[in-house]
Structure 1
Amino acid sequence: MTKATEILNNPFLNKGTAFTQAERQALGLTGMLPTQVQTIDEQATQAYAQFQSKANRLEQRLFLMNIFNENRTLFFYLMDQHLVEFMPIVYDPVVADAIEQYNELFTNPQNAAFISVDAPDDVQATLKNAAAGRDIRLVVVTDAEGILGMGDWGVNGVDIAVGKLMVYTAAAGIDPAQVLAVSIDAGTNNETLLADPLYLGNRHQRITGTAYDVVIDHFVNSVKQLFPEALLHFEDFGRANAQAILDKYKNQLATFNDDIQGTGMVVLAGILGALNISHESIKDQTFLSFGAGTAGMGIANQIKNELMQAGLTEAEAKQHFYAVDRQGLLFDDTEGLTPAQKDFTRQRTEFEHPETLTNLAAVVKAVHPTVLIGTSTQPGTFTEAIVKDMAAHTDRPIIFPLSNPTKLAEAKAEDLIKWTDGRALVATGIPADTVTYKGVTYDIGQGNNALMYPGLGFGLMAATATRLTDETLSAAAHALGGIVDTTQPGAAVLPPVAKLAEFSQILAEKVAQSVLDQGLNKEPISDAKQAVADLKWVPKYGKVTFA
C-alpha cells in the first residue's frame, strides 16, 4: 500500500476533498481526488444533504458510520452542527437496531479491539494492534452481557462502546484519536446468535468463573501497562460481574462503570433538580427502585452515598430505600440476592403482611414512596392506579421511568403528568416530547447517561486522576442538578441534550477541581479550568504528518 493510499484509508488523517493542492503534492495524492478543493463546511453541507435523503433512521446511522470510518474530523464537525438530531441515531435508541443486525450490517471494525476469552495470551497484543501507536487516554470496554434493556448480545455489543466514545468526543471534546473501544468476547447465551451462521463472535455459551476473571485481569493490567494515562470505562457488563469488577479495580486506576455510577449520577442529578423545583430535602424522601439489577442498585447506591454526604449514617441512609425486583420487595431472606441487592433489603418484621408484597402495586400502597425509579425493562408497569396511589401521599411525586429503548419504558411522560394533575416531576430514559396540560408546557428531562459521563470522564482525564471517588461523583451530580430553571412552570429536572457541550464543560471543570482538591492528580496541575481547556479537541483540519 502506498503512502497516499494509507493516508486516504486512515480516518484520523484523511481530509478527503479538503486536502489542498500543496498537501496533495507533498503527500503523493496528486490525481487521487477530484480537482476541486472543498472546505470542511462545504463537505458538511454535502454530507448532511445525503443524510437527509436516507429513508429511515437506521439507514441514516449507516451513512454516518461510513463517514466515521473514513474521516473522523468531518464526522464530528457534522455532529457538532446537528447534535440533538444525531444523538439518538449514533447512540440510543437506534444503536439497539444496529446491534441486533450487527452481523448482517458489518463492514468495518471501527478501530475497536476484539478480545477473545478463548485466547487470554493475546490480550496485550490485541490492544496494542488496535491502538496502532496512538496515545490512548480513554478506553470503553463491554462484554455485552447486559446491553441496554436487551440483554446478552455477544460481540455485537461492541457498537455500544463505539457509540459511547462518539458521545464523549461530541459532548466534551475528547480527541477521537486518543480513544479505544474494546469488546471482550466471552461467548454468548443468546441462542439466536449462536444459531446464526453470520454471527461473528465465539460460538459457545458464556464463559464464567476463573477463566473469565483471568481475561479481565489480563485486560486491566494490559491497559495499565500500555496506556498508563488512560481512564477505563466499563459498559453493559452483566449484574453478576459489574459490581465485582468495579470493586476489584477502582482503587488501582481511574475507572468508571457507567451502568452503576453513571446511571446513578444522572438519576441523582435529576432528583436534585426535582428537589430544587419542589424546595424539599433529599433527607425527607422515600425511594422505591423498581428493577434491582445493575442499574437499579447503582442508582440506589449513588443516592445512599449522597444521603451520607448530607449527614446520615449508612444505616440511616439505607432506611430510605425499598427495592422491588421479579420476586417483589426484596427482603434479607430473599433467595438469590446479588451482593449489590443485599445492601437494600428490608426485614419481614417491618410489615404486618410481608407475604403480600410480591408486586409493585402492593409495595407502593404499603410504603408510600415519594420517588419512584424504573429500571425494570417491564413496559407499562407504572400504571394509572399505582401513580395515583403514589400521588395521593406526596405533593410533588418524582417519577423516573428510565428503561429503554422506547418499547420497554415503564410509563409515558404524558400519562404521568395527566394522572398526577401536573404535579409529577418526570424524567424518562428516552427522549420525550414536551407535554401540554391545562395550559402549562412541561419539558421532560431525559435521564440519559450522556448528560454525565462525557463531562465526568473529560474532567478526570484533564486532571490526570489516579482514581474516581464518591466525593467527585457527588460534585458532578450537584453541578448537573443545579442546571435547572426553578422559576419556569413545567421546567425539566435535567438540562436538555441541546446544551450538552455547554454543561459538559462545566461538569469537566467541577470534576477536575474535585480531583485537585483531593490531591488525586498524577501530574502537577494548578488550574482546573486551564487543564480542561488545554485538553479540548475541536473538529478542524490540521497539518497531516505521515511517517
Structure 2
Amino acid sequence: MLSRLRTSWSLRPCVSVCRWAHTKEKGRPLMLNPRTNKGMAFTLQERQILGIHGMLPPKVESQDLQAMRFQKNLKKMTDPLQKYIYLMGIQERNERLFYRVLMEDIEELMPIVYTPTVGLACTQYGHIFRRPKGLFISILDRGHIRSILDNWPATNVAAVVVTDGERILGLGDLGCYGMAIPVGKLCLYTACAGIRPEKCLPVVLDVGTDNETLLKDPFYMGLYQRRDRSQAYNDLIDEFMEAVVEKYGQDTLIQFEDFGNHNAFRFLRKYREKYCTFNDDIQGTASVALAGLLAAQRAIGKPLTEHRVLFLGAGEAALGIANLIVMAMMELGLTQAEAREKIWMYDAHGLLVKDREHKTDANQELFVHDSPGNVQTFLDAVNTIKPTAIIGVAGAGRLFTNDVIKAMGSLNERPIIFALSNPTNKAECTAEEAYTITDGRCLFASGSPFGPVTLSDGRAFIPGQGNNVYIFPGVAMAVILSGVRHICDTVFLEASKSLAEQLTDKELAEGRLYPPLANIREVSLQIAVKVMEFVYAKGMAFRYPEPLDKNGFVRATAFNTDYDSLLPDTYDWPGVSFSPIN
C-alpha cells in the first residue's frame, strides 16, 4: 500500500507553535498513509478540508490520550512476540504515534523492537507477516536494482541498512526473514538519534538460504534456493552500492548488518574508501565494548594499557573490538605490536596460536601468538593467560562456566566479564551468575538485557547492557548531518570516548558501565555532537557551511513526534485593493 501512495512534503516556517506539513493527499489515502495519519487527532477543520469528515468517530483525541491507550494495551500483553506484532502494527498505521510510544518507554520496549525479541520475530517472519516493510531485492533482480529503488516512494533517503540474512544475531542463516533486523535498526535511528523516518530505507538482499528448515517451510517468503556464493553474489552487491549512490547521492550512509563473517570483512575493506559505509557488527560492537572497558578502567583505577583481554570467539565482533582496543592503546602510548600482544582469542578450535591444526584467516592473523603452554579448554586459557577481562562474542551459549568465572575472580580483584552474545539464550553467562560467583566484585556487561541482581547480603547491582544502540544512531546522525563520505575507525573511537564520559560516578557505583537506556536519546544526541565536532575538525565533513552551534543544530534537526498541521497555509493580503488606481 505504501508504495502506491504519493506524498509531497515540505516544512514551512510557522509564526505560531504549530508546524505545517503540505500534503497533496486527501480522503481515505491520507488516513492509510502512516506518515500523514493522525488517527482521531485530526481536528474538525482538518477533517472537513481534507475530505475525511465522517470517516472517524466525532471525538477529537490528543496524542497524549492515543499514547495512553496503546501503552495500556501493551501492558496487558505478556508474550514478547505479541507485543512486537502490536507495536509494528502501530508503526504501519500511525508513524508519529509509534515513535511517541517507543520513545516514552524506550527501556521497556527496546528489547521488543530490537534484541532479543527481534530475533524471535525473524525466525517467525513468514508466520506473523502483516504488511511489507522496506525493499526486497533478490539475486534474480540483477541488472534492475536502480528501477527497484525508483519504486521506493521517498526520494530523499539518507540512511540505508542492508542485510543478506546470512548471520542474523546468533541465529544463523535466516534468508529474507532477516528483514526485521534493518527495520528494527532504523526504528532506533529515529527513536534514539532523531533521524527522520522518511530518510531511512531498510533493505534485504535475498540470495537464497542454506537453512534447511526454511527451504521446507511453506510460509517462507524468499527464494527457495541454496545461498548463491558465486560471482553473481559479488556483482549484486556492487550493483546495489552503485545504484544507491546514483539514486540518493555520494554521502548516503549504507550500514551493513548481519552478513557472514567472511563477507562482512571483505565488504568493509572493499567499500569503506569508496562509499559512506560501516558495518555495525564489526565497528558498532567494537565501539560499545571499548566504551565499557573505558568505564571499567575508571572503576578499577588501572589504565587500558595495563589490561589483558581474552576473547571467547574470533569472528567479526571479536576482531572489530580487538582492533579498536589496539587503536585506543596506541593513542595512550603503546606501539601496535605491544597492544596486540595484550589481546588473545579462543574460538571453536581453541586458542589462536601459531602452528595450530585449524588454520586462521587473514583477519585473525594479527592476533595469533606463540603458544603459552598446554591449553585444551577456555578455562585453561583463562588460567594460563591470566586476563583482566574476558569478552564473549561466540554466540554459543553458556561458555563462561562457574569455574571460568571463579578463576577470573581469583585472578583479579575486579574482574571484567562481558557476555555480549545475542539473543539472551546465547549469552555466555547471566548477570546473576557473574555477580554471585565473584561476590559482587565483577564489572559485568551483556549484549541482551538482564534485570537487577540482589546478592544475599542485600547489595544490589544494575548490569550494564553493551548494546550497539548506544553507538550507531548517534554516529549515523553525525555522519548524515556532516556530509561525511568515508567513515574511518577513529570516528568510532571518538564515539566510545563520548559514551564512556557520559556515565556518572553514581551510575558506575550501581554496577553500570553504560548510562541507563532510558537516557538513550540524550546519549545519542551528545555522541552526534561530539562526532560532528571531530569530523569537521579533521576535515572529514563535506557539508558546508559548518554549523557554529553544533549542539543546537543537532537538536533542532532531530525528529519529534508532535503531529503537524495538515491544513493549507491560509493568510490575508492586508491593505490590498483590487480597484483601479486613479
With normalisation by structure 2, the TM-score equals 0.90
Q: Which residue of 2 aligns with 1:470?
A: 489
Partner SS state of residue 533, structure 1? helix
2:567 and 2:479 map into 1 onto residues whose CA distance is 29
Residues 207-249 of structure 1 show CA distances to partners (whole Å, capped at 9, x for unaligned) of: 1141111111111111111111421111111001001111111
Q: Which amino acid is 1:167 matched to?
A: L
* Distance apart, 1:17 and its partner CA: 1.4
How far, CA to CA, are the matches of 2:415 and 2:36 in structure 1?
A: 52
Contact kept? 1:268, 1:302, Cα under 8 Å: yes
Paired residue type of 1:478: K
Question: What residue identity is the alignment partner of 2:380?
Answer: A
| Partner Cα distance (1:171, 1:489) in 2 | 25
CA distance in 1, matches of 2:37, 2:216: 39
Q: Give the C-alpha shift of residue 6 in structure 1.
A: 2.0
* Matches of 1:337 and 1:167, distance apart in 2: 35
Corresponding residue number in structure 2 for 1:240:
262
Deviations 1:381-408, CA, capped at 9 Å, x for gaps: 1112122222222221111011121111
The reply on whether 1:227 has 2:227 as its aligned counterpart is no
For 1:52 and 1:422, the matched residues in 2 are separated by: 33
**Does 1:45 find its partner at 2:68?**
yes
Cα pair 1:456 1:508 within 8 Å, conserved: yes
**One-letter amino acid of the structure 1 residue matched with residue 503 of structure 2:** V
The residue aligned with 1:445 is 464
What amino acid is aligned across from residue 47 of structure 1 in structure 2? F
Aligned to 1:282: 304
Which structure's CA Rg is the greater one?
2
AA of the residue aligned to 1:316: E
Change beyond 3 A, Cα 1:166–1:133: closer
Q: Is the 8 A contact 2:49 2:567 kept in 1?
A: no
Q: Deviations over 1:414-451 (max 9, x none)?
A: 12122222221110111112222334322210011111
- Structure 1 counterpart of 2:136, one-letter code: F
Supply the distance in 2 between the matched residues of 1:140 and 1:54 (Cα, whole angstroms): 30
Moved more, 257-266 or 477-486: 477-486
Question: How far is the alpha carbon of 1:378 from its aligned partner?
Answer: 2.3
| Selected match of 1:150 from 147, 156, 171 | 171
Q: Which amino acid letter does the alignment assign opposite residue 411 of structure 2?
A: H
Matched residue of 1:373: which SS?
A: strand
2:127 partner amino acid = E
Is 1:402 the counterpart of 2:425? The answer is: no
State yes or no: 1:91 paired with 2:114.
Answer: yes
SS at match of 1:233: strand
Measured after TM superposition, the shift of residue 332 of structure 1 is: 3.8
Counterpart Cα distance in 1 of 2:49 and 2:143: 42
Most deviating of 431-440 and 499-508: 431-440
In 1, the alpha carbon distance for the partners of 2:394 and 2:495 equals: 26
* Count of paired positions: 539
Contact 2:470 2:524 survives alignment (8 Å): yes
How has the CA–CA distance of structure 1 residues 116 and 143 changed in structure 2, closer, same or farther, with 3 Å as cutoff?
Answer: same
Q: Does 1:78 align with 2:91?
A: no
Check conservation: 2:46, 2:567, Cα contact below 8 A. Answer: no
The aligned counterpart of 1:489 is 509
Distance 1:7 1:333, change over 3 A: farther
> Amino acid of the residue matched to residue 189 of structure 1?
D
Q: 2:327 aligned with 1:305, yes or no?
A: yes
**Structure 1 partner of 2:480:** 461
Q: How far apart are 1:545 and its partner, in Å?
A: 8.0
The yes-or-no answer on 1:378 pairing with 2:400 is no
Deviation of 1:200 after TM superposition, in Å, equals 0.5
For the residue of structure 1 that corresponds to 2:367, the secondary structure is coil
User: Bigger shift: 22-31 or 232-241?
Assistant: 22-31
For 1:210, the equivalent position in structure 2 comes to 231
1:294 aligns with 2:316: yes
Q: Deviations over 1:491-531 (max 9, x none)?
A: 31111111111111111110111111111111111322233
| 2:449 aligned partner | 431
Q: Which string of whole-angstrom CA distances, capped at 9 and with x for unpartnered residues, describes residues 271-322 of structure 1?
A: 0001011111110011101011111211112212211222222212111111
Per the alignment, residue 350 of structure 2 pairs with 328
Q: After the TM superposition, which of the residue ranges 225-234 and 187-196 deviates more from structure 2? A: 225-234
CA drift at 1:179: 0.5
**Who is 1:267 aligned against?**
289
> 2:35–2:95: 8 Å Cα contact kept in structure 1?
yes
- The aligned runs of 1:111-190 (5 Å cut-off) are 112-130=134-152, 132-190=153-211
Q: CA deviation at 1:461?
A: 1.4
SS in 1 for 2:566: coil
Which whole-Å CA distance do the structure 2 matches of 1:410 and 1:69 have between them?
Answer: 36
Q: Does residue 314 of structure 1 match 2:332?
A: no
Structure 1 residues 187 and 258, CA gap change in structure 2 (3 angstroms)? same
Q: In structure 2, what is the Cα distance between the partners aligned to 1:382 and 1:55? A: 30
Contact 2:154–2:199 (8 Å) recurs in 1: no
Q: Cα RMSD between the aligned structures?
A: 1.7
In structure 2, the residue corresponding to 1:515 is in which secondary structure? helix
With over 3 angstroms needed to count, the CA separation of the structure-2 counterparts of 1:59 and 1:277, relative to structure 1, is same
CA distance in 2, matches of 1:163, 1:545: 32
Quote the Cα distance in structure 1 between the aligned partners of 2:376 and 2:364: 16
Q: Which residue does 1:59 correspond to in 2?
A: 82
Point out where structure 1 has 5 or more consecutive residues left out of the alignment.
Answer: none
Corresponding residue number in structure 1 for 2:534: 514
Deviation at 1:55, TM superposition (A): 4.4
Equivalent residue letter for 2:486? R
The residue number in structure 1 matching 2:572 is none
Partner of 1:399: helix, strand, or coil? strand
Structure-1 separation of matches of 2:252 and 2:49: 34
Which ranges of structure 2 fall in alignment gaps of 5 or more residues?
5-24, 569-582
- CA offsets per residue over residues 188-217 of structure 1, 9 Å max, x none? 010100011111001111111411111111
Question: Structure 1 stretch 2-11 or stretch 416-425: which is displaced more?
Answer: 2-11
Query: Do structure 1's residue 533 and structure 2's residue 552 form an aligned pair?
Result: no
Supply the distance in 1 between the matched residues of 2:521 and 2:435 (Cα, whole angstroms): 29
Q: What's 2:440 paired with?
A: 422
Q: Decide whether the 8 Å contact of 2:268 with 2:278 is kept in 1.
A: yes
1:11-22 matches, cutoff 5 A: 11-22=34-45
Percentage of pairs with the same residue: 37
Q: Equivalent of 2:54, from 18, 31, 37? A: 31
Separation in structure 1 between the aligned mates of residue 553 and residue 504 of structure 2, nearest angstrom: 29
Is the Cα contact below 8 Å between 1:116 and 1:184 reproduced in 2? yes
Return the alpha-carbon distance in structure 2 between the equivalents of residues 44 and 202 of structure 1: 39
| 8 Å contact kept, 1:485–1:491 | no
| One-letter code aligned to 1:278 | I
SS in 1 for 2:254: strand
Match in the other structure for 2:576: none
- Mapped contact 1:290–1:372 kept (Cα < 8 A): yes
Check the 8 A contact 2:163/2:205 in 1, yes or no: yes
- 1:81 deviation in Å? 1.6
- The alpha-carbon deviation at position 24 of structure 1 amounts to 1.9
Distance 2:426 2:541 in 1: 41
TM-score norm. by structure 1 comes to 0.95
Distance in 1 between residues matched to 2:377 and 2:215, nearest whole Å: 34
DSSP-derived class of the 1:125 partner: helix
Matches of 1:530 and 1:54, distance apart in 2:
39
Q: What CA distance in whole angstroms lies between the structure 2 residues aligned with 1:491 and 1:383?
A: 21
- 1:3 deviates by 4.3
Structure 1 residue 501 corresponds to structure 2 residue 524: no
Which 10-residue stretch deviates more, 485-494 or 216-225? 485-494
Rounded to whole Å, the distance in 1 between the matches of 2:369 and 2:491 is 29
C-alpha separation in 1, matches of 2:402 and 2:234: 45
Q: Please state whether the residue corresponding to 2:521 is helix, strand or coil.
A: helix
